[in-house]
Amino acid sequence: MRARLLSLLVTAAVASLGAQAAVTDAMIDNDAKTPADILSNGLGPQGQRHSSLKQITRENIGRLAPVWAFSFGGEKQRGQEAQPMIHDGRMFVTASYSRIYALDVKTGKRLWKYEHRLPDGIMPCCDVINRGAALYDNLVIFCTLDAQLVALDQKTGDVVWKEKIDDYSAGYSYTAAPLIAGGLLLTGVSGGEFGVVGRVEARNPRTGEMVWSRPVVEGHMGYRYDKDGKQIENGVSGTPGKSWPGDLWKTGGAATWLGGTYDPKTGLAYFGTGNPSPWNSHLRKGDNLYSCSTVAIDVKTGKIVWHYQNTPNDGWDFDGVNEFVTFEDGGRVLGAKADRNGFFYVNDAKTGQLVNAFPFVKKLTWATGIDLKTGRPNYVPENRPGDPTKGADGKKGEVVFSAPSFLGGKNQMPMAYSPETKLFYVPANEWGMEIWNEPITYKKGAAYLGAGFTIKTLGDGPIGSLRAVDPKSGKIVWEVSNDAPLWGGVLTTAGNLVFWGTPEGYLKAADAKTGEVVWQFQTGSGVVAPPVTWDQNGEQWVAVVSGWGGAVPLWGGDVAKKVNYLEQGGMVWVFRLMK
């Protein structure tokens, strides 16, 4: 009897360990409260990028030193924008050219590597980067430059399933980390510069089978799918023809290329949408919904519950993809977004009602402010690029200078929030551009801009600045300037610290309340990825991926010339306090 009882206890213990190894919906929803692992992009589906760990402080951070480093190797040392995931003794990290690695989290030893075979003719907009993976059950799932989803076994790296998102030859690609929300795998699409149609899709994360699809260009039909994969109409997005002239909605852009966030309290997934196509706004009179917006989607039904448009009739490629980070204020669930257009927005996360909006960059030319009653920008009409049909030769509209540039007051690099300080920490950039419109017609697989541009510096001073922003007052509480533009994400901790990286190669930490820089480490290449932290057997560890690249060297104009001395790379660095 005793032996049988012991056997049952051992069996139960083994089953319990197996259950713990499988990533569940509850584990992902509570990711922010379990610092021993990192199961979501954003250290919690809400995207706050805040850790409750406080072992590392400004008093002892001088002892923070490398534990191990891992090189991605090869000649593919392009931009590295990935956030690592930590689970069951493994680190899962993606790299440029659609690669993913599983590493022993204690030693950095490579456990397996998967390198996706990419076809000729892929058309990524802004470098061959990848921003990370999703974990679910025993799978690690990531997206590829040829617009595919690949699910691998966490322990072996073997392919479990693979699904096509869309046709790469038509300009589609995908580089964002997938989002797990309400038991579903949510992804968007990239390719806004090629006249694609932006959308959000939900799949069964165990099989890759479609559950629903929601276009974010007004006029397109949404769908849900039955158990046999049959497509069933699920309502048109918006009102066809209401905010788009003619047939331009059919190639309307609004790519959801940065992925989304999710708040279990609202049951809504929040995706930002990109620029309308083409860039020439004179061709598409109207607001062009749902481009340059935040859309809140009910994950159960796949329907848009609310939207808020940050830049109606965008004429500057300001997009609106920036992450919508939810947080609580007096029992109310709010969401914040530092938009590429230079304004910081606070919305009610349940209804979309605009609560506050203010600039977080110092130079803005396209609008004087946001009307808090209507939610609309107060445009400066003369600073919209000119209509080419009214130019002297009909081939080029009036050139205007615009700030911020289309690279944005903030771009892909995620901000962070601290519930302790109640501040957001925003990697901001001060730059401008000369921009003009040109005639354009759509051709499948070809660039669909109708504009020309040159990125400009605003002077000889610093371009980047990490800014601590008060979402209530709209004030910049402190800032740490940086010569090169900031292009990497931010991490906050309960130890009163803020971590971020710079293109010059430094991982830095500052006092979250004062902005005083208290530590830095040279990684050997530019940091354009977000740092993470976790509890490793009672010790707080920190990691960041290093490797200069992304959009700035490709599209940065005069700014790219200013930082052309920066070296590319591909490394994971891991740190802990040394005794």
At 223-240, the pLDDT tens digits run: 999 989 899 999 999 998
At 55-96, the pLDDT tens digits run: 999 999 999 999 999 999 877 778 999 999 999 999 999 999
C-alpha 133/C-alpha 272 separation (Å) is: 19
At 286-330, the pLDDT tens digits run: 999 999 999 999 999 999 999 999 999 999 999 999 999 999 999
**Mean pLDDT for all residues in the chain:** 94
pLDDT score recorded for residue 121:
87
Domain coordinates in residue numbering, the chain: 22-577
C-alpha 305/C-alpha 295 separation (Å) is: 8
pLDDT at 1 over 50: no
- Given the residues 314, 317, 319, 339, select the one marked as catalytic: 317
Mean pLDDT along residues 447-466 = 94
* Active site (annotated) includes residue 387: no
Question: Sheet containing 423-429: which strands, arranged edge to edge?
Answer: 416-418, 423-429, 464-469, 476-482
pLDDT score recorded for residue 201:
98
Q: Using a pLDDT cut of 70, give the percent of the chain over it.
A: 97
pLDDT at 17 over 80: no
At 538-550, the pLDDT tens digits run: 999 999 999 999 9
pLDDT at 4 over 80: no
pLDDT score recorded for residue 6:
35
Domain 22-577 grouped into CATH 3.30.420.40: no
pLDDT at 161 over 50: yes
Tracing tokens 């040279």 back to the chain, one arrives at 522
pLDDT score recorded for residue 338:
98
Burial (CB count <10 Å: 0-12, 13-18, 19+), residue 21: middle
Buried b (16+ CB within 10 A) or exposed e, 377-413: beeeeebbbbebeebeeeebbebbebbbbbbbbbbbb
Mean pLDDT along residues 186-210 = 96
Instruction: Name the more confident of 555 and 490.
Output: 490
pLDDT score recorded for residue 13:
35
pLDDT score recorded for residue 94:
98
- Whether the CA torsion 479, 482, 485, 486 is positive or negative: it is negative
At 259-268, the pLDDT tens digits run: 999 999 999 9
C-alpha pair distances (Å), 133 with each of 95, 97, 178, 321, 388 = 10, 14, 6, 18, 43
- Encoded tokens for 503: 């293109």
Angle at 380 between CA 378 and CA 383, to 5 degrees: 145
What pLDDT band is residue 126 in, cutting at 50, 70 and 90? Answer: confident
Torsion of CA 240, 254, 316, 484, to 10 degrees: 170
pLDDT score recorded for residue 579:
87
